[in-house]
Amino acid sequence: SEASYIRERLSAMLSGGYRPIVAHIERYEATRTDLDFVEELTEMGAYMQINADSIVGKDGFFTKRYCQKLMKNDLVHFVGSDCHDSSKRISRIGEAYSYVIKKMDTDYAKQLFIRNPQKIIDHKF
């Protein structure tokens, strides 16, 4: 199953000394349908990332609502732009940051958008 594959791959990375960040967890069936599975992965030591577009609703209402649920359960560590090429896709990071402040609070928004990314740069995560 997708869940067992994800679990096995993350376990292999973690045992190799890496701290993986699972990108856009709102897209995978296994993580989208099972909050307990996301919690299990974070307890293993993996970090979770969702996309800015998903937070602000560009990927649909259900995805937006799921992202809110993830944040309310403190299962998100990072927000990505998903902009592989900024000429083809605009970044909604600023819009997502404002939205998280409104839905959660400023401190939580700073954690996801500023403090956690800074910890990577500082090699403290």
Q: Over its length of 125 residues, how does the chain's per-residue pLDDT go in tens digits?
A: 899 999 999 999 999 999 999 999 999 999 998 999 999 999 999 999 999 999 999 989 999 999 999 999 999 999 998 766 666 666 788 999 999 999 999 999 999 999 999 999 998 87
Q: How many CB atoms lie within 10 A of CB 82?
A: 20
pLDDT of residue 23: 93
Domains located in the chain, CATH noted? 2-121 (3.20.20.140)
pLDDT of residue 84: 64
One-letter identity of residue 61: F
**Assign residue 27 a region: left if phi > 0, alpha if psi is -120 to 50, beta otherwise?**
alpha
Structure tokens at 82: 């998903």
pTM recorded for the entire structure: 0.89
Q: What percent of the chain lies above the pLDDT cut of 70?
A: 94
Structure tokens at 8: 């096995």
Residues 6+ apart with CB under 8 A from 52: 79, 80, 81, 82, 91, 92, 93, 95, 96
